[in-house]
Structure 1
Amino acid sequence: MRHGGQILVDQLVKLGVRRVFSVPGESFLAALDGLYDAGIDNIVGRQEGGVAMMAEAYGKMTGQPGVAFVTRGPGATNASAGLHIAQQDSTPMVLFVGQINNRHTDRETFQEVDYKSLFGGLVKWVAQVDHTDRLPEYIARAFRVAQTGRPGPVVLALPENMLSAQAEVADFTGVVVPDTAGSQDGAAPFAKALAHAERPLIIVGGPHWDKGTTTAAARLAEAAKAPIVTSFRRQDYVDNRHSHYAGDLNVGINPKLADRIRATDCLVLIGTRFGDINTQGYTLVDPAEPQKTILHIHHDVAEIGRVYGPTLGWVETAPRAIPALLNALKPADMPDRSAWIKAARADYDAWTNPQETPGEAKLEQVIKHLSETLPEDAMVTNGAGNYAAWLHRYFTYKTYGTQLAPTSGSMGYGFPAAISASLEHPSKTVVCLAGDGCFQMTLNELSTAAQYGATPIVIVVNNGRYGTIRMHQEKTYPGRVSGTMLTNPDFAALARAYGGHGETVTTTADFAAAFDRAKASGTFSVIDLHVDEDALSPALTLSGLAKV
C-alpha cells in the first residue's frame, strides 16, 4: 500500500525524471512527501509563472517533458503563461495541479477551478485523476501525449483526497517513448521536386532537433544547392557562419530576406509550422494562392496543410527526414544555384553589420561583443520586447542548444529559462538578455537562483519604458504617450540585495570589463545597461518617428 503522492513520484522515477519545478501548496502535500527521498531535485520557485517557464525551458533543452507542480486556483492560473509557451513552442511538458477534495466539486469550494474548461484550448490534453489506483495509467499517458506527434503540454489535476488516499497498485508497465513510426518514402519525391526548382529555399524549425541534425541540415543545404533559413527563434539550428545560411524569420525580418521568400519558387519546410511570424502575418506567402512549390516535413500530420496546402507532405521528424533526403539527393542533378546562394548570404552579411543607434551605451556593439567573445557553447536566453531585435540581428549562433527564447512572444521568459539552463549546464556560461519591463515580470526568481546556486548573467536593457508597445503607440498615436512609461528600481542594487553581483553600465566602453567581472563573480549577476530612450529598434528612433 502506498499513498497517492508516493505512487505518483514512483512513476516519475521510473520515467527517468531528474528534476521538477514547483511552488508548494497544501493541495499536494502527499506529492511533496513522495519527493522527500526520491532522489529527484525539487526546484522551488517564487511564482508559478516562473516555475512553469523553468520547466518549459528544461523540456526545450532535454527533449524530455519538463515537470512542474503548482497548487489549485491562483497557482494554476499563474502557471498558464508557461503552458502557453510550451504549446506554441511545441515543447513537451507535464503540469501537475493540486485540486480540491473531489467530493466537494461544484460547490464553488475554496480555489475550485474546472481545469478541463480552463486549459482545454491551451494544452494537448487535460484530465483529473479521481482514483488513486489509476495514477500510473494517467501519468504514463500524460508523458506519452506530451512527447508524441507535435510535442506539447499536458495538465493533470490531482484532488488532495485522491493523493492522500492509500492504494495497492503496480507501477505502469512498458516504456513511454515518442512514436517512431515514419516512412522514408517521402525522400525520393522531395529530391525530385528540389531538382526541378530554380530558386529553392530551405526553412528549418520546430521540435525534435539535436546537434547531429543541425550538422546534417547544413550538409543538406550544400547537397541541395540551396540557401537555408531558420524559423523564428530557432537560430541555433544552423551554424550562422555557414556559407549557405541566409538569416532567420523573426519579427524584424531582413527586408531582403522577405523579398527572397516572395521570390522563391520552392519552399522546403522542415519541422517548422511556418506560422504568422515567419510569414509576416501571412503576407510573404498567400495561404490561398502560394504561387510556389511547398514541400512540408512535419512529425504531426495535422500540421501539414493546416494553413498552407503543400505540393508534397511528409510525416516525419527532422532527425530522420534529413538523412533520408541526403541519401536520396544527387547533387549532380541539382542545377547551378551559386548566384542565388551567394546573393542570399551577402544580404545576410550586410544585415548583420551593426547600424549605429543613439546614446552612449550602444546595444548593437554590446551584442557584437558578446557574439565575438562568448564561448561557442554559451547559452543565451531572452523573453519578448524590442530589445530582442538587436540580439536576433547581431548575435551569431554557432552551435545547437545555445538559444532559449519563446516563439510565443512571452515577456518574462528569459530569466527563468536562464536559471533552468544554469542548473542543467552548470559549467556553461548562461546569459539572459531582458528588457526592463520583461525582467520585472519574473525578477523575483533571483531568490530561486540564490537558493540553488544558478549563475546566469542578466543584461537588463533599461530604457524606462515598454519599448515595443511605445514603438507601435508612436506609429499609431504619435505624441500621445499612455501606459508605456516605467519607474524602475536600481537593478544592480537589487541583485546585490539577493546576494548576487550587480553593476550599472551607461557607456559602451564600460560594458566589456563589467561583463568580465560578472562572469568572474561566481554567482548570478545583473548588469543594468542604461540605453537611450530614442532607440526604439535597430532601425527606428523616436526622433525619426516624430519627424515622420
Structure 2
Amino acid sequence: MAQRRTVLTSTSTPASARRNGGQILMQQLRIHGARRVFLVPGESYLPCIDAFNEHQGAIEPIVCRQESGAAYMAEAYGKLTGEPGICFVTRGPGATNASIGVHTAFQDSTPMILFIGQVGNGFCEREAFQEIDYRRMFGQMAKWVAQIDRTERIPEYVARAFSVATSGRPGPVVLALPEDTLWGSAEVVDLPRYTRAHSHPGGADLARMAALLEEAERPLMIVGGTGWTSEAMHQLEDFAVRFQVPVGTAWRRLECFDQRSPNAAGHVGWAMTPALRQRVRAADLIIAVGTRLGEATTEGYTVIESPMPRQKLVHVYPDPGELGRVFAPTQAIVADVASFAGALAALAPARPPQRKARVEAAHAEYLASLVPLSAQGPLSLDAVAAIAADQLPHDACITVGAGNYALYPHRYRRYTGPGTSLAPTVGSMGYGLPAAISAKLEQPERTVVCYAGDGCFQMNLQELGVALQYRVGVVVLVFNNGIWGTIRAHQEREFPGRAIALSFTNPDFAALVRSYGGHGEVVECTEDFAAALARACAFADREKLPALVELRYAADGIAPGETLSGILSAALARQQISGAAHGTFAEAVPQPCGVSVAVTDPVNDRADARR
C-alpha cells in the first residue's frame, strides 16, 4: 500500500486528499501547463479519462479517430508552443499506431509526452492481453521511456518527463501507465510546475565566432531546429544585417527566419536552387544555428561534408552530445536558439563589413526562384503554389506531409516566422491534416492550409471527424494524380520503363469532405484556382468547418523544374537502351478542360528524395 508522504519542502505544495492515479496524473498535467490533450480513448487508462471531469475549462480533451492522428496533433502542438504536446493512447495497438508520431517528434526535436495504458504489474512478462515492453519498443525513438509502477510516484515521473522533453535537444518522452497504478490511490504532494533549463553562449564563444566572421569573405548562416520565438528571430536577423551575412533555412524549417528579410537566401536542402547550392558549397564559413545539419539539409552530406567540412563551421546547438557527432566543427557552441539569439545583441563588427553585394545577390537569387516556372498541362502546380502564396495572409500556417507536392509550397511561399510552417523533417506521410487541425485549435484566428498529396491525405483523412466535431475551419488542398509520384520518379530513374504497383483509385475528395459537413470543390484548370481557394477560405472562416479544394491533374512535372519524362530519358541514356525496347513512358487519356496529354506521375507522398 502507498505510504503517505509527510515531508514537505519550500517548492512542494501541500499534501492532497487521497486520489486515484488518474486524478493525480491529470492534476500534474494541469500544474505543468497542459491545456489540451489529444487522445483515442482506451479502457486501459479509464481513471485518466474520468479525471477530465475535474478539469473542465482548464484541460481540453480532443478525441481523435486514430492514434497516429492524435500523436501528430500532439507533435504539432509541441512545435507551435514549445511546450510538450500531450497524447494518450491505449496499450498495444494504440501504442503501435502512435509510434509514428513519436518518431516524428524525435527526428524533428519536438517536445512531446506520450502516455500509454499498460497491463497491471501483476500480469507483466506473461504476454498478457496487448502487453508490450515499451522500454524496448520506444528505446531508440524517445529521449526517455519509463513505466510508473507506483501510484505515489506519478508526480515525480511527470515532472521529470516535462523537464526531459524540453531540455537540451527537445524530444519525446514515453510513460507507460499500468492499470494498478492508475486505479490505485495515494496521498501525495503535487510537485510545482517544471522550469525549463536554458543553455547560454559564453563571452569567449561569441568573441571567437565574431573573429571567424571578421575573417570570412563568403559566410552563410543556416538556421533551423526548435525553440524559436519572434523575438529570437528578429534578434538573429538584426545580427545578420549588422554583419552582412545571408541566411538560409534548414530543410523544412522554413518558419525559422522571415523570408521577407533582405538577408533571406532561401531553403537549404533537397531540391534547393542550383545558385543556393553553389553558395553553400563555396562558403568559407557556415554558422549553423539550432540545426543538426542532417542528411536532407546537406543533400546527403555533400554540400557540407562529414566528418570534415570544407567550410569552416560554427555549430550552435543546445545538446553537447550532438556537437562533433557528425561534423568536426571549427567551433562548437552549446546554446539554445533563443539564448544564442539574445546574446547576439552585444556583438558589433570591429570594422564595417564589405559583404553587402554578396547578401544582395543571394537575396536576388532567392527572389528569382519565386517566379513560377513554366509547366505543361491545364493545371500548373507552380502557378497554383504561387497564387496561394500571394493570396493567403502572410502569417498563415502551411502544413504538409511528405511527397514532392510539398516542394511547391516550400519553394513559392515566403514564410514569415514561428507558426507559419509545420512540416515533418522526418518525411512522414499523413502529417498535414492532423497538424493543421492542431494549429487551428491553438490559433483559431490564423488561416491554416494543409497541402496534401492524394496518398498522403488518405493516411489520416479520418481526422476530418475531429474538424467536424470541434468546428475547426482548416483548408485542405489535395493534389490528386492517382499515383505514388515520388516513388515513380525513383522507379523511372533506377528501373526505367518498368513502372508497376504505384497507382491507386481515388474517391471523390470534394464529395467526401461534404459528408463531414465541409465545403468541397474540384479544380482542373489553373485559371479556376484563385477563386476556388478564396471560396474555401471564406467558408472555413465563416462556418468553422473544413474546406477542401481537390486539384486534379496529370502533368509531367514531378517537381519544380523537373519532369518524369526527363528522368526517364536520362535513365535510358545511361543504360544505352531505347524507350521503344522497354515500353513507353505514358499513355494518353482525357485530361481536364478537354485537353489530352500524356499521363505522367508528378506528385506523391513518400519523402524519399535523396537523389
TM-score, with structure 2 as normaliser:
0.88
Supply the distance in 2 between the matched residues of 1:297 and 1:230 (Cα, whole angstroms).
14
Correspondences of 1:265-414 after superposition (within 5 Å): 265-330=284-349, 332-414=350-432
**When the two structures are aligned, how many residues end up with a matched partner?**
546
The corresponding residue for 1:122 is 141
Distance 2:339 2:152 in 1: 38
Measure how far apart 1:181 and its partner are. Answer: 4.3
Q: Deviations over 1:235-281 (max 9, x none)?
A: 12222122111111132111221111111110001111111111100
What is the DSSP-based 3-state SS (H/G/I as helix, E as strand, rest coil) of the residue aligned with 2:198? coil
CA distance in 2, matches of 1:251, 1:41: 38
For residues 99-121 of structure 1, give each alpha carbon's deviation from its aligned partner in whole angstroms, at most 9, with x where no partner exists: 01111111111101000000000
1:17 aligned to which of 2, 15, 34: 34
Inter-partner Cα distance in structure 2 for 1:275 and 1:181 = 22
What's the Cα RMSD here?
1.2
Q: Which letter does structure 1 place at the counterpart of 2:36?
A: R
Deviation at 1:340, TM superposition (A): 1.8
Partners of 1:125 and 1:348 lie apart in 2 by 41
Question: Residues 310-348 of structure 1, C-alpha deviation per residue, up to 9 Å, x if partnerless?
Answer: 111111112221232231222x52530123212212221
Displacement, 1:542? 2.4
- Once residues 462 and 316 of structure 2 are traced to their aligned partners in structure 1, the CA distance between those partners, rounded to angstroms, is 41
Choose the corresponding residue for 2:77, options 58, 67, 81: 58
Contact 2:397/2:449 (8 A) holds in 1: yes
Matches for 1:223-242 after TM superposition, within 5 Å: 223-242=242-261
> Which of 482, 485, 491 pairs up with 1:467?
485
TM superposition shift of 1:399: 3.3
Q: Deviating runs (4+, > 6 A) in structure 1?
A: none
Shift of 1:164: 0.7
Larger radius of gyration: 2
Within-5 A mapping of 1:44-83: 44-83=63-102
SS at match of 1:301: coil
Q: Give runs of aligned pairs for residues 191-230 of structure 1, distance below 5 A.
A: 191-230=210-249
The answer to whether residue 436 in structure 2 is matched with residue 418 in structure 1 is yes
CA distance in 1 between counterparts of 2:305 and 2:143 reads 28
Mapping for residues 22-37 of structure 1, pairs under 5 Å: 22-37=39-54
Is the contact made by 1:418 and 1:430 (CA closer than 8 Å) also made in structure 2? yes
Aligned equivalents of 1:11 and 1:289: distance in 2?
Answer: 46
Could you tell me which residue of structure 2 aligns to residue 259 of structure 1? 278
Q: Distance in 1 between matches of 2:341 and 2:399?
A: 27
Residue in 2 that maps onto 1:524: 546
CA distance in 2 between partners of 1:275 and 1:9 (Å): 37
Q: Secondary structure at the match of 1:333?
A: coil
- Paired amino acid for 2:565: S
- 8 A contact 1:201–1:227 mirrored in 2: yes
Residues of 1 paired with 2:240 and 2:516: CA distance?
A: 48
Alpha-carbon separation, structure 1, partners of 2:567 and 2:465: 40
CA distance in 2, matches of 1:519, 1:8: 39
Question: Counterpart of 2:98 in 1: which secondary structure?
Answer: helix
Q: Which amino acid aligns with 1:287?
A: S
Indicate conservation of the 8 Å contact 2:479/2:552, yes or no. Answer: yes
Name whichever of 436-445 and 177-186 sits farther off. Answer: 177-186
Q: Is residue 204–residue 269 contact of structure 1 (8 Å, CA) maintained in 2?
A: yes
1:168 alignment partner in structure 2: 187
* Residue identity opposite 2:562 in structure 1: L
> Partner of 1:532: helix, strand, or coil?
coil
| Counterparts of 2:174 and 2:315, CA distance in 1 | 30
For residue 20 of structure 1, what is the amino acid of its counterpart?
Answer: V
Partners of 2:565 and 2:335 in 1: CA distance: 49
Match of 2:519 among 489, 501, 509: 501
Matched, 1:427 2:427: no
Answer yes or no: is the 8 Å Cα contact 1:195–1:334 preserved in 2: no
The percentage of counterpart residues that share the same residue type is 49
Instruction: State yes or no: 1:178 paired with 2:200.
Output: no
CA distance in 2, matches of 1:285, 1:494: 45
Instruction: List per-residue Cα deviations over 1:455-502 (Å, max 9, x = no partner).
Output: 100000111111111111111111211221121110000001111111
Contact 2:243-2:353 at 8 Å conserved across structures: no
Give the secondary structure class of the aligned counterpart of 1:449. Answer: helix
Other-structure match for 2:6: none
The equivalent of 2:19 in structure 1 is 2
Moved more, 366-375 or 401-410: 366-375
The answer as to whether partners of 1:380 and 1:432 remain within 8 angstroms in 2 is yes
1:370 Cα shift? 1.4
Question: Unpaired runs of 5+ in structure 2?
Answer: 1-17, 571-611
Q: Which residue of structure 1 aligns with residue 510 of structure 2?
A: 492
| Contact 1:191–1:325, Cα closer than 8 Å, also in 2 | no
| Aligned mates of 1:447, 1:147 — CA distance in 2 | 31
Is 1:269–1:294's contact at 8 Å kept on the other side of the alignment? yes
Give the TM-score of the pair, scaled to structure 1. 0.98
Q: Structure 1 unaligned segments of length 5 or more: list them.
A: none
Cα deviation, residue 295, structure 1? 0.7
